[in-house]
Chain A
């Protein structure tokens, strides 16, 4: 019994972290799913979901129930174990990065000096899941979608890392809390506007969203790598995508928008989380906004844009940052 009491604080911490992670992943998917459809509707001059509940706010709950009830169809010639593994592999790693994100100066799963690396490493597993899903479906559209996903993600990972690296050189730490603490007078968006722009473009490509949604371009590839997925296995991919959006937006908030810093509210110790979520959802709103505003780019344009403009610019930005850090 004594042993139990001695590990109780850690045990409670673990359980709370797990529950909060699940709440964030599913709650974020509900909010974002509704926001995406509603905003898409309003951008196209139509009301969006209106039928279920006032202004259709229960639409996503009903959709979730429908997806849970649907049959999981496995194509006859698919590689069955890998076909089942891919959605799990896309969904499972999204919980770990949530642990290192500092939602406020007091709310964080654990702080470590490899915080950013945890996020980047687990984001790369998502790509492996897309590849496995696309290949094991044994469908030409899925295969093309997976191909596009991998060439696009591998390319856009470079400017993303380089733009974050220029911040890392200024803060001297990978710890996300340290990065937030380093921008107490001015946010890094003021000092590194180019890095912020590059990161913003790169995350649109990394999360496979329009105008860079080539891996699931519905007019060319039906639905890209998840063409053959139905029901819950499809929704695991979608949940993973929304969670990844949340994570990359959180990283942008932490690195460029001052994390949880903001005007402290009276009588509320944890007011940082309100500012943090506000900034994150503003970024996500921006992502939805450009998705429904700009047309899809062509694939060669997409790759040229990355290799000929983003990477050179981010390298120059990194070089200037290093020189400035050394001089100042």
Chain B
């Protein structure tokens, strides 16, 4: 069985690499389209990490919703505007470069490193509950019911906003 642990370890680092590379591409790409696809790669890597943590349900939902729906909608929005010859202007020049590095490092140190050092990570000796769909569904609709309902209210507001925006544009054209 030890071989499988090695394989899992290698897969973990591969997924971390995918997540980070995707993130860097998403931030630094010259083309908006590449940036969106970098984002898709990051989200895919995160889905892989969920899988590695033992929750295939979350991994599949991540791919289904974020890669399959959100990214596709963003890509469609980008396709309306940009063609492959429109490049982003270089913004990391002159005094922007040290400032950007400083901002990154401050945020990184204060949020990331400090939080990691302070938090005491307890290694789970065994799996906390089974991550089956029944468990996820029960905890969403019983324990975290309020959060779940609030999220659906936010989504409803977003849908209403989208409808109002779309209708407004259409009426402006015809009248």
Pair A128/B63 contact, Cβ less than 8 Å = no
Interface residue tally of chain A, by bracket?
Answer: 20 to 34
B49 within 8 A of A: no
Q: Name the residue of chain B whose CB is nearest to the CB of A10.
A: B4
In whole angstroms, how far apart are the Cα atoms of A132 and B67 in the complex?
A: 13
- Find chain B residues with CB under 8 A from A302 CB: none
In whole angstroms, how far apart are the Cα atoms of A10 and B1 in the complex?
A: 10
- Find chain B residues with CB under 8 A from A132 CB: 37, 75
- Find chain B residues with CB under 8 A from A120 CB: 60, 64
Q: Name the residue of chain A whose CB is nearest to the CB of B64.
A: A121
Known: A128-B71, A135-B33. A122 touches B63 (CB 8 A): yes
Known: A138-B83, A174-B133. A131 touches B60 (CB 8 A): no
Q: Name the residue of chain B whose CB is nearest to the CB of A93.
A: B63
B84 within 8 A of A: yes
In whole angstroms, how far apart are the Cα atoms of A122 and B71 in the complex?
A: 14
- Find chain B residues with CB under 8 A from A131 CB: 72, 75-76, 79
In whole angstroms, how far apart are the Cα atoms of A3 and B57 in the complex?
A: 30
Q: Name the residue of chain A whose CB is nearest to the CB of B83.
A: A138
- Find chain B residues with CB under 8 A from A10 CB: 4
CB distance from A68 to the nearest CB of B (A): 28
In whole angstroms, how far apart are the Cα atoms of A134 and B33 in the complex?
A: 12
Interface residue tally of chain B, by bracket?
Answer: 20 to 34
B2 within 8 A of A: yes
Pair A135/B132 contact, Cβ less than 8 Å = no
In whole angstroms, how far apart are the Cα atoms of A122 and B63 in the complex?
A: 8
Pair B133/A113 contact, Cβ less than 8 Å = yes
Pair A138/B79 contact, Cβ less than 8 Å = no
Pair B68/A135 contact, Cβ less than 8 Å = no
Interface string of A136-165 (1 = CB under 8 A from B): 101000010011001100100000000000
In whole angstroms, how far apart are the Cα atoms of A78 and B63 in the complex?
A: 27
In whole angstroms, how far apart are the Cα atoms of A45 and B33 in the complex?
A: 47
Pair B67/A150 contact, Cβ less than 8 Å = no
- In A75-127, the 8 Å CB interface with B consists of 77-79, 82, 112-114, 117-118, 120-125, 127
In whole angstroms, how far apart are the Cα atoms of A151 and B76 in the complex?
A: 9
Pair A124/B69 contact, Cβ less than 8 Å = yes
- Find chain A residues with CB under 8 A from B132 CB: 113
- Find chain B residues with CB under 8 A from A146 CB: 79
A301 within 8 A of B: no
CB distance from B75 to the nearest CB of A (A): 5
In whole angstroms, how far apart are the Cα atoms of A147 and B80 in the complex?
A: 9
Known: A77-B85, A131-B76. A114 touches B133 (CB 8 A): yes
Known: A3-B2, A118-B60. A128 touches B76 (CB 8 A): no
Which of the listed residues A117, A118, A146, A154 has the most CB atoms from chain B within 10 Å of its own CB? A117
Q: Which of A7, A118, A135, A143 contacts B3 (CB 8 A)?
A: A7
Q: Name the residue of chain A whose CB is nearest to the CB of B2.
A: A3
A71 within 8 A of B: no
In whole angstroms, how far apart are the Cα atoms of A114 and B57 in the complex?
A: 6
A219 within 8 A of B: no
CB distance from B144 to the nearest CB of A (A): 20
- In A39-81, the 8 Å CB interface with B consists of 77-79
CB distance from B148 to the nearest CB of A (A): 18
B113 within 8 A of A: no
- Find chain A residues with CB under 8 A from B57 CB: 114, 117
Which of the listed residues B34, B68, B79 has the most CB atoms from chain A within 10 Å of its own CB? B68
Pair A124/B79 contact, Cβ less than 8 Å = no
A-B interface, 8 closest residue pairs, ranked by CB to CB distance from nearest: A124-B68, A121-B63, A117-B60, A121-B64, A121-B60, A79-B84, A131-B75, A135-B79
Known: A6-B1, A123-B68, A128-B40. 14 other contacts (CB 8 A): A3-B3, A77-B84, A114-B133, A121-B60, A124-B64, A124-B68, A128-B68, A131-B76, A132-B75, A135-B79, A143-B79, A146-B79, A147-B79, A150-B75
Binding site for B on A (CB under 8 A): 3, 6-7, 10, 77-79, 82, 112-114, 117-118, 120-125, 127-128, 131-132, 134-136, 138, 143, 146-147, 150-151, 154, 174
11 A-B interface contacts by CB (under 8 A): A79-B31, A79-B33, A114-B56, A117-B64, A121-B60, A121-B61, A124-B64, A127-B68, A136-B84, A138-B83, A150-B72
